[in-house]
A and B are shown apart, each in its own frame.
Chain A
Amino acid sequence: MDTILAAQVLLADGGSSEGGLFALALPFVVGPAVFGAIYGGIYRYYRNKDKRFGFERETDIQVGNLQAFDHHVGDKNRQRSATMSGANQDDPLQRVGRLEVR
């Protein structure tokens, strides 16, 4: 479904000649994508390699004494995406540069 939507976007985005050519290529994109999605989906359902204990949500944790700063440093105009590049607020398992804290 995502591939079909992507194809529609590309068709809309390109010129008429590009759109026509891409329309001919559509089956060669959609077929393998559906094959991969079915294979990957079933494999994941059986093997569950992606499952883990969400300790960061389920452990008993208390927080307090919050100190925060937010400094405006500039503007970015005419961005093509609704999300910023490199956003990682939803991936707490990813480690970033270490800061020494006292």
Chain B
Amino acid sequence: MQQPPAPTQQAPSAPGAQPPPPAPAEQIQDAIDEATSGDRVIDTDRGKSHGLDKCPRCGSSDVHYRIESRALVCDYCRNEWNEDNAEKAFHLDTPIQELRGDHVASGAQDVQAGDSMVTIKCQGCGAEIVVKSDETLQARCHWCRQVLSINHQIPNGAVPDAVLPFTLTREQAVEQIKKFVDSRRTFANRTFVKEFVPDNVKGVYMPYMVVDGNLHTDLRGTGEITTRTYTVQRRVGKDQTVSERYWDASVHELGRSFDVLVNDLTAGSSRQYDRTDSSAATNYILDAVQPYDTREALVFNPNYLSRFTSERRDLDIDDLDERVEDKFLTIAREKARPTIAQYDRGVRWEREGVAIRGTRWITMYVPVWLYSYYQQTSKGSYVHYIAVNGRTGKTMGSVPVSHPRIFSLACAGGAVATAAAAVVGWGVFLTQGF
């Protein structure tokens, strides 16, 4: 799985010099290569210039997303509307089996460093406003007070192709987090219990790559089927025997080869919240609150982000493609399961491979209600997250533990078990002797 190659740049030529026309054979070969590779960019840019993003009814730029209405709401005329469904708007619903080559949405292209400051000319008064796009996609004009938005894609990963707005309210999220912690209070760290304020939850949009894949997979391995089960009596003393159970098996080499169509596989694309790195924070929590109903995602509009925070994407397709390929292999292994039911002693997969015929990559912001707790440890601080899926309410978290409390209970349990085992053991010893 590779990103489409960057367009080749022509070598600069001397002024006035005419470049030699390409030979017809080369032109034809280029056309064939382009047609057969199938690599293309899906344009998801809304085509609007930076600046005012007005209410379609009254023209106000004060717009925010209201969870209760599940719509963008104009702060002046209370008009409510939504952007179009992204899948339909960008034609992402074409059959996956027809995918050939890599199709990359314009918002999923490589992140480029150094483009975070965007200067927007206010269409209201003409002032020039600088927006630090690493941190926000909107700013208010100092002079005329209108809200200015970054309306088209910039190559720093801050503008995704689609957004999945929150449907779970803040109050519902607080309730979920309270419930989660309440069931884990007894052995929680005492400082955490004292400092726990669920109202500090923040609505965050996390960046994900959403991938469709047209694959062919091949698995090879060895499997065993039980042919006979029997019990043998074995003499272990003068007048004692034990029963031993044995299995006979037939051994088979097996192979499974099949096509797989994957729709909307998600891959986190923020380095800071990378699931594989939990050295400074419990990042695995964010992974565990999936899935998201990505088919309901809407065309991106920065107004969905107002009053929430968002995490900028900083992982490219090249950073994620090996991980996604591993996920494809995992899917293949899982889907092969029903075909090996006859191997009751199990299957040992020894070789696996996947041919990727086509992929489609888009970037999406998904909604998470996130509670963070900084635990001070002897090595510094460690961040514990409690996350609530902003669509489904699925909750997962990490609560710092009180080791002395767990130790006490474990000691008590261990002591009771030791005493019980001592009674049983002594009884057996008296019965059997040396």
A residues whose Cβ falls under 8 Å from a Cβ of B: 4, 7, 11-17, 19-21, 23-36, 38-39, 42-43, 45-49, 51-53, 55-89, 92-93, 95-102
Q: In the complex, are the beta carbons of A27 and B422 less than 8 A apart? A: yes
Taking CB atoms, residues of chain B closer than 8 Å to A49 are 278, 282, 284, 398
Q: In the complex, are the beta carbons of B410 and A38 less than 8 A apart? A: yes
Which partner residue on chain A sits nearest B405 by CB separation?
A42
Which of A14, A76, A88 interacts with B224 by CB under 8 Å? A76
Q: Is the interface of A mostly helix, strand, loop or mixed?
A: mixed
Residue B352 is within 8 A (CB to CB) of chain A in the complex: yes
Q: Which 4 A-B pairs rank lowest in CB-CB distance, beginning with the nearest?
A: A87-B346, A31-B418, A99-B353, A35-B414
Residue B417 is within 8 A (CB to CB) of chain A in the complex: yes
Q: In the complex, are the beta carbons of A15 and B346 less than 8 A apart? A: no
Residue B424 is within 8 A (CB to CB) of chain A in the complex: yes
Q: In the complex, are the beta carbons of B240 and A15 less than 8 A apart? A: yes
Q: In the complex, are the beta carbons of A46 and B327 less than 8 A apart? A: no
User: Could you tell me the distance between the alpha carbons of A36 and B290 in the complex, rounded to whole angstroms?
Assistant: 31
Residue B207 is within 8 A (CB to CB) of chain A in the complex: no
Which of B254, B353, B417 interacts with A101 by CB under 8 Å? B353
- With A42-B187, A46-B187, A63-B260 already in contact, the answer to whether A23 and B429 are too (CB < 8 A) is yes
Q: In the complex, are the beta carbons of A62 and B260 less than 8 A apart? A: yes
Which of A23, A30, A76, A85 interacts with B417 by CB under 8 Å? A30
Taking CB atoms, residues of chain B closer than 8 Å to A92 are 330-331, 333-334
User: Could you tell me the distance between the alpha carbons of A79 and B263 in the complex, rounded to whole angstroms?
Assistant: 43
Taking CB atoms, residues of chain A closer than 8 Å to B75 are none
| Pairs A–B under 8 Å by Cβ, sample size 15 | A23-B429, A24-B425, A24-B426, A38-B409, A39-B407, A39-B410, A43-B406, A53-B288, A55-B331, A58-B291, A62-B96, A63-B260, A69-B253, A70-B254, A97-B350
Which of A16, A36, A56, A61 interacts with B261 by CB under 8 Å? A61
Which partner residue on chain B sits nearest A13 by CB separation?
B242
Q: In the complex, are the beta carbons of A23 and B426 less than 8 A apart? A: yes
User: Could you tell me the distance between the alpha carbons of A7 and B353 in the complex, rounded to whole angstroms?
Assistant: 43
- Looking at B3-11, B20-28, B49-57, B212-220, the stretch in contact with chain A turns out to be B212-220
Closest Cβ of chain B to A31, distance in Å, is: 3
Residue B71 is within 8 A (CB to CB) of chain A in the complex: no
Taking CB atoms, residues of chain B closer than 8 Å to A99 are 218-220, 351-353
Q: In the complex, are the beta carbons of B236 and A15 less than 8 A apart? A: yes
Taking CB atoms, residues of chain A closer than 8 Å to B326 are 95
Q: Is the interface of B mostly helix, strand, loop or mixed?
A: mixed
Closest Cβ of chain A to B35, distance in Å, is: 20
- With A27-B421, A75-B248 already in contact, the answer to whether A48 and B285 are too (CB < 8 A) is yes
Q: In the complex, are the beta carbons of B335 and A76 less than 8 A apart? A: no
Which of A47, A55, A98 interacts with B398 by CB under 8 Å? A47
Q: Per-residue CB proximity of B245-285 to A under 8 Å, as 1/0?
A: 11111111111111111111110000000010010001011
User: Could you tell me the distance between the alpha carbons of A28 and B421 in the complex, rounded to whole angstroms?
Assistant: 8
Taking CB atoms, residues of chain B closer than 8 Å to A74 are 250-251
Q: In the complex, are the beta carbons of B406 and A19 less than 8 A apart? A: no
User: Could you tell me the distance between the alpha carbons of A78 and B318 in the complex, rounded to whole angstroms?
Assistant: 50
- With A60-B264, A66-B256, A72-B250 already in contact, the answer to whether A29 and B421 are too (CB < 8 A) is yes
Closest Cβ of chain A to B143, distance in Å, is: 47
Closest Cβ of chain A to B348, distance in Å, is: 4
Taking CB atoms, residues of chain A closer than 8 Å to B367 are none
Residue B227 is within 8 A (CB to CB) of chain A in the complex: yes
- With A16-B432, A30-B421, A66-B339 already in contact, the answer to whether A60 and B263 are too (CB < 8 A) is yes
Residue B349 is within 8 A (CB to CB) of chain A in the complex: yes
Q: In the complex, are the beta carbons of B255 and A69 less than 8 A apart? A: yes
Taking CB atoms, residues of chain B closer than 8 Å to A20 are 428-429, 432-434
Taking CB atoms, residues of chain A closer than 8 Å to B406 are 38-39, 42-43
User: Could you tell me the distance between the alpha carbons of A51 and B252 in the complex, rounded to whole angstroms?
Assistant: 35
Q: In the complex, are the beta carbons of A46 and B426 less than 8 A apart? A: no
Q: In the complex, are the beta carbons of B249 and A84 less than 8 A apart? A: yes
Q: In the complex, are the beta carbons of A97 and B335 less than 8 A apart? A: no
Residue B101 is within 8 A (CB to CB) of chain A in the complex: no
Taking CB atoms, residues of chain A closer than 8 Å to B289 are 53
Q: In the complex, are the beta carbons of A51 and B284 less than 8 A apart? A: yes
Q: In the complex, are the beta carbons of B266 and A55 less than 8 A apart? A: yes
